[in-house]
Amino acid sequence: MSINHKGKKLTQQQLDSIIPVLNRNMAMTGKKNQAKFEAACEQAMANAGCPFEETPSWYYTKGYAPHHQAQIADEINGNTVAITYNDEDGRHARIMAAALELLAALQKCALHVSHYAAMPHAHPDAHRDAAEARHAIEKATTA
């Protein structure tokens, strides 16, 4: 089973944390109660140490001749995030549009690889791979 909240699929830990809220509020109806319910769910997730965070999502539109300027924009407000030039097939724009999701996935993988690297049966390259992932994350997240 999966539940989407504000367009984002909740993790199992987040689902587990909102079960009491679901049980208490099954009879709630209407927009006012819906807002209270969503706020209660978000508070339950925060209290359980797995807060709900709205991750911005970007999309791109392919550019056309003569300049092949592709646009990357924010799905929430439509604001332009970036423009690529001479990007005839849109591959640079596609990568940029996926950057936030790629970073989030890399952060999760880095945690798992770091944990695995500490185990006695870990692959010899696990420490190096974890360090490379941490370096890439630092490069993407520091000014």
Task: Give the whole-angstrom CA distance, residue 140 versus residue 100.
Answer: 10
Identify the pLDDT of residue 34.
Answer: 77
Output the pLDDT for position 43.
Answer: 87
Give residue 80's pLDDT: 92
pLDDT for res 27: 60
Check residue 30 and give its pLDDT: 55
Q: For residue 124, what are the CA distances in angstroms to 21, 118, 119, 129? A: 45, 11, 11, 10
In the predicted model, residues of the chain with pLDDT beneath 50 are none
Instruction: Give the pLDDT confidence of 81-122 residue by residue, as tens digits.
Output: 999 999 888 899 999 999 988 988 898 888 888 888 888 888
Which pLDDT score, from 0 to 100, does residue 135 have?
93
Q: Which residues pair with 4 in a beta bridge?
A: 9
Query: CA torsion sign, 27 to 31 to 33 to 38?
Result: positive
pLDDT recorded at residue 95: 92
pLDDT for res 31:
56
Token pair, residue 93, equals 């724009």
pTM: 0.58
pLDDT at 32: 59
